[in-house]
Homo-oligomer: A and B are copies of this chain.
Amino acid sequence: MSQLPTVVDVGRVAGVSRQTVSNVLNSPGLVKPATRERVEAAIAQLGYRPHASARRLRTQKSSTLGIRLDPMQNGISGAVLDRFLHALTEKADQRGLRVMLFTALDPEDEIRQFKRLRDGADVDAFVLTATFHGDPRTEWLIENNVPFVTFGRPWGIDDMNDPRHLWVDVDGWSGLHEATGHLLGEGRLRIAYLGWPRPSGTGDDRRRGWRDAMESDGRLSAAELDALDLSTVDGVAQGREALQALLDSGTPVDAVVCASDSLALGALLAVGADIPVIGYDNTPVAEAVGLSSVEQPLDEVAAGALELLLGPTGGEIVGWSSSSTDPRHRLVTPHLVMRERSAITGVR
């Protein structure tokens, strides 16, 4: 007992050869229906499972994605990566792929890990998060012909449409545009934007969403908008200070939209309950304190990443050269989650 069954065992029970069993699993179309049923019955009877390592050795494919787990994302928003990771694992599972983790100290070290995992045939594609301009990682992957997809668009103009660079991203512009529009629709006029210092790919994109919504509303002048456009590094205390400074300057504020939940929480502490604040990322904290926020549909992001990598249905990683008509990237639209702010309301 106890020895796991192999294709040979299944073949013996079903009265066919190894290869036929293999065909039932991998190319069912080749096998006569009657035979296929017999084999399938034998598989069920023996509880046969293909031996992943043996298959990988032969096919030189691991059916595994590698993803770097960051040492600790910046404060509150780290949760976003984790939710993405979960969504990715789930979607990958559905396609028969596994997700393997690794850590790295810096981009160079990460490249070293790429090499290690690729050479050991541990993974056959990578999912990257948080790419930046002139990222050495994507360059290396492209040069070495390793399939990958990034969560986050490449912010350099050249890279953006490089067909070898697959990417998925959330449309921050749209998120802030919607949030701002919602507040305008509620009759708020002087809506401030609390974001990060320029230049910041994601940050500037979100800022643009706010600004465009405000400009198409048209009631505030460019100068007035400039006054409502705040920048500070991410953090609750920083957000609070930035907004406090604005209020102290005497500028009236009807509402605030933010580039992150950390900033939003800070803003909330500064403005109190009567002025609506909308954050970004819809982190657990936002939910906990009842803060409205822009939710990134990470399920869609994960599904999109896999679709770019594998095509709409497949479970085979073929690399960027598959079909030149396939889409190369996908922009996912976030949506607004409005809340009553019950937990913090009434604090002051």
Residues A265 and B289 in contact, CB atoms below 8 Å apart = yes
**CB of A137 closer than 8 Å to a CB of B:** no
Which single member of B50, B53, B64 contacts A56 (CB below 8 Å)?
Answer: B53
Q: Is A246 an interface residue (CB 8 A)?
A: no
Once the chains are docked, how many angstroms separate the CA of A266 from the CA of B289? 9
Contact of A288 (CB < 8 Å), options: B49, B82, B89, B265: B265
Q: Is the CB of A269 within 8 A of B52?
A: no
Tell me the smallest distance from the CB of A91 to a CB of chain B, in Å. Answer: 10
Give A272's nearest chain B residue, CB to CB.
Answer: B347
Say whether A269 contacts B344, CB under 8 Å.
yes
CA distance A344 to B290 in the complex (A): 16
Query: From residue 1 to 20 of chain A, which have CB atoms closer than 8 A to chain B?
Result: 4
Instruction: Tell me the A317-348 residues at the B interface (CB within 8 Å).
Output: 342-344, 347-348
Chain B residues whose C-beta falls within 8 Å of the C-beta of A69 in the assembled complex: 85-86, 89
Known: A89-B69, A90-B103. A235 touches B288 (CB 8 A): yes
CB distance from A340 to the nearest CB of B (A): 11
CB contacts under 8 Å to B, within A274-290, are: 284-285, 287-290
| Inter-chain contact B89/A101, CB cutoff 8 Å | yes
What are the residues of chain B within 8 A of A285 when measuring CB–CB?
Answer: 76, 284-285, 288
Q: Is A240 an interface residue (CB 8 A)?
A: yes
Minimum Cβ distance to chain B for residue A122 (Å): 5
Query: Among B98, B103, B289, which residue has its beta carbon within 8 angstroms of that of A86?
Result: B103
- The residue among A102, A115, A120, A342 with the most chain B CB atoms within 10 A of its own CB is A120
Question: Taking CB as reference atom, which chain B residue is nearest A49?
Answer: B119
Interface residues of A in 39-61 (CB under 8 A from B): 47, 49-54, 56-57
Residue of B nearest to A88 (CB): B101
Question: In the complex, what residues of B have CB within 8 A of residue A100's CB?
Answer: 64, 98-101
Q: Which residues of A contact B (CB under 8 A)?
A: 4, 47, 49-54, 56-57, 62, 64, 69-72, 75-76, 78-79, 82-83, 85-86, 89-90, 93, 98-103, 115-116, 119-122, 235-237, 240, 262, 265-266, 269, 284-285, 287-290, 342-344, 347-348
